[in-house]
Amino acid sequence: MTKKILIVAGDGIGPEVMGEAERVLGWYKQKRGFDVTVEHELVGGCCYDKHGVAVTDATIEKAKAADAVFLGAVGGPKWDNVPYEGRPEAGLLRLRKDLELFANLRPALCFAALADASSLKREIVEGLDIMIVRELTGGVYFGEPKEITDLGNGERRGVDTQVYTTHEIRRIAEVAFDLARKRGNRVMSVEKRNVMKTGVLWYEEVAKLHAEKFADVKLDNMLADNCAMQLVRNPKQFDVIVTDNLFGDVLSDIASMLTGSLGMLPSASLGAKDANGKANAMYEPVHGSAPDIAGTGAANPIASILSLAMALRYTFDRGACADLLEKAVDAVLANGLRTGDIMQPGMTKVGTVAMGDAILKE
């Protein structure tokens, strides 16, 4: 059956890096009989400019109907002063929420060829392979009340609300435990239960689920501030980390920075399977829209291309195709090709399209 992909390339370097991912997708259509139709829509600042909102209802419907959504990146200084509801990030957040993409998988891999590019010492990061599982549709991102009220006398009051329920915690922990079984079989659950009641609930529900269904997986718990420290001190102690939306945002950015290759890291955001076994899914690079280099052809397309590999693996059940693509990326790096963000002495500097070409050739 023909699969449907919706590409929302977004702002900044989004269209450039997505262009390369789409070329690679084209290769799989031609050479591997991957039967897929592709549509394009706007999301983020570009959508706000055209429609006055960061994502339209029609795009949300298309995204729901698609087997996978590929997102480039959203945002940029151009939209710094648009109203809160119209800011580019609102489009991304609505996609996550409306598609119920509660499980955000962010691998932090240190590519052998790039171990020296990290600000950390080589021995600390070499061989690093962490999977961060971030809850993506709950917590302080979406809880109500979320408002600013005027108290008079020039005083205002801002409120955000962090909410988690048993159900939300169990389903994300389940994803983490399942993934751990296919990896190092260890899960580190991260919260701040010494200060937050949601942290207490998180801790208790994860422990309960573990005892019920995943006693074979090693489970440990860590406070979020300590986890941030440990990621810097000795990141290789971790296998799978599972945490809430806000801590996941910060911790996964730390983890990606350790690898020295932010421009290389993909992510998957997954929903629950419906009765027909279909799950909503969105794939996107971890990096942002990099407005400073947008349009110059210098952006690194590897994160987008590896996001396609994640899609092949998680949505389209084509593990062999995903392996092939990941090997092609490894080979291109081993051959010394580098975009500007990962450039090292003695290597060959190439642009977005040339990097895409090289990967296609492999």
Ligand X SMILES: CC(C)[C@H](C(=O)O)[C@@H](O)C(=O)O
Q: Residues forming the annotated binding site?
A: 76-89, 96, 106, 134, 225, 249, 253, 288-300
208 is catalytic: no
Considering only residues 37, 161, 296, 344, which one is a binding residue for its own copies as defined by CB under 8 A? 161
Of all residues in the shown chain, the one whose CB is closest to ligand X is: 89
Residue 300 Cβ vs ligand X, minimum distance, rounded to whole Å: 17
Q: Return the ∠ at Cα 86 (arms to 288 and 9), rounded to 5°.
A: 40
Residue of 249, 330, 349, 357 with catalytic role: 249
Helix (H, G, I), strand (E, B) or coil at 50: helix
35 is catalytic: no
Do 281 and 307 contact (CB within 8 A), yes or no?
no
For residue 249, how far is the Cα from the chain centroid? Answer: 9
Considering only residues 53, 254, 324, 331, which one is a binding residue for its own copies as defined by CB under 8 A? 254
Bridge-based pairing of strands 143-152 and 103-109 is unpaired
Pick what 347 binds: ligand X, its own copies, none; C-beta below 5 to 8 Å, kind-dependent. none
Instruction: For residue 345, state whether it binds its own copies (rule: CB under 8 A).
Output: no
| Phi-psi domain of 186 (left: phi exceeds 0; alpha: psi -120 through 50; beta: other) | beta
Q: Contact residues for ligand X (CB under 6 A)?
A: 89, 92-93, 194-195, 225, 249
* 216, burial (CB in 10 Å: exposed 0-12, middle 13-18, buried 19+): exposed
C-alpha dihedral, 224 to 108 to 336 to 112, nearest 10°: 90
Instruction: For residue 226, state whether it binds its own copies (rule: CB under 8 A).
Output: yes
Collect all residues with Cβ–Cβ distance below 8 Å to 57 and sequence separation of at least 6.
none
Among 262, 311, 251, CA closest to 288: 262
Of residues 228 and 331, the one with the C-beta less far from ligand X = 228
- Choose the binding region for its own copies from 28-36, 100-108, 115-123, 315-323 (rule: CB under 8 A): 115-123
Pick what 258 binds: its own copies, ligand X, none; C-beta below 5 to 8 Å, kind-dependent. its own copies
Residue 261 Cβ vs ligand X, minimum distance, rounded to whole Å: 17
* Alpha-carbon gap, residue 180 to 164, rounded angstroms: 23
Q: Which residues carry a binding-site annotation for substrate? A: 96, 106, 134, 225
Do 274 and 291 contact (CB within 8 A), yes or no?
no
116 is catalytic: no
Phi, psi of 196 (to 5 degrees): -115, 135
Residue of 28, 48, 141, 203 with catalytic role: 141
CA distances from residue 328 to 191, 352, 356 in whole angstroms, order as listed:
37, 16, 11
* Lookup result for tokens 């919260």: 191
Instruction: For residue 112, state whether it binds its own copies (rule: CB under 8 A).
Output: no
Residue 138 Cβ vs ligand X, minimum distance, rounded to whole Å: 12
* Alpha-carbon gap, residue 360 to 329, rounded angstroms: 9
111: tokens are 């590519």
Instruction: For residue 344, state whether it binds its own copies (rule: CB under 8 A).
Output: no
Instruction: Give the H or E element holding residue 312.
Output: helix 302-314
* Alpha-carbon gap, residue 276 to 312, rounded angstroms: 19
- Choose the binding region for its own copies from 41-49, 127-135, 250-258, 319-327 (rule: CB under 8 A): 250-258
Bridge-based pairing of strands 103-109 and 266-273 is antiparallel
Pick what 19 binds: ligand X, its own copies, none; C-beta below 5 to 8 Å, kind-dependent. none
249 is catalytic: yes
Q: Which residues carry a binding-site annotation for Mg(2+)? A: 225, 249, 253
Instruction: For residue 272, state whether it binds its own copies (rule: CB under 8 A).
Output: no
Pick what 120 binds: its own copies, ligand X, none; C-beta below 5 to 8 Å, kind-dependent. its own copies
330 is catalytic: no
Considering only residues 110, 262, 311, 329, which one is a binding residue for its own copies as defined by CB under 8 A? 262
Do 245 and 191 contact (CB within 8 A), yes or no?
no
Pick what 216 binds: ligand X, its own copies, none; C-beta below 5 to 8 Å, kind-dependent. none
**Binding footprint of its own copies on the chain (CB under 8 A):** 75, 84, 87, 89, 93, 119-121, 124, 140-141, 143, 146-148, 151, 154-167, 192, 194-202, 205, 224-226, 228-229, 232-234, 246-247, 249-251, 253-254, 256-258, 262
Catalytic residue ranges: 141, 192, 225, 249, 253
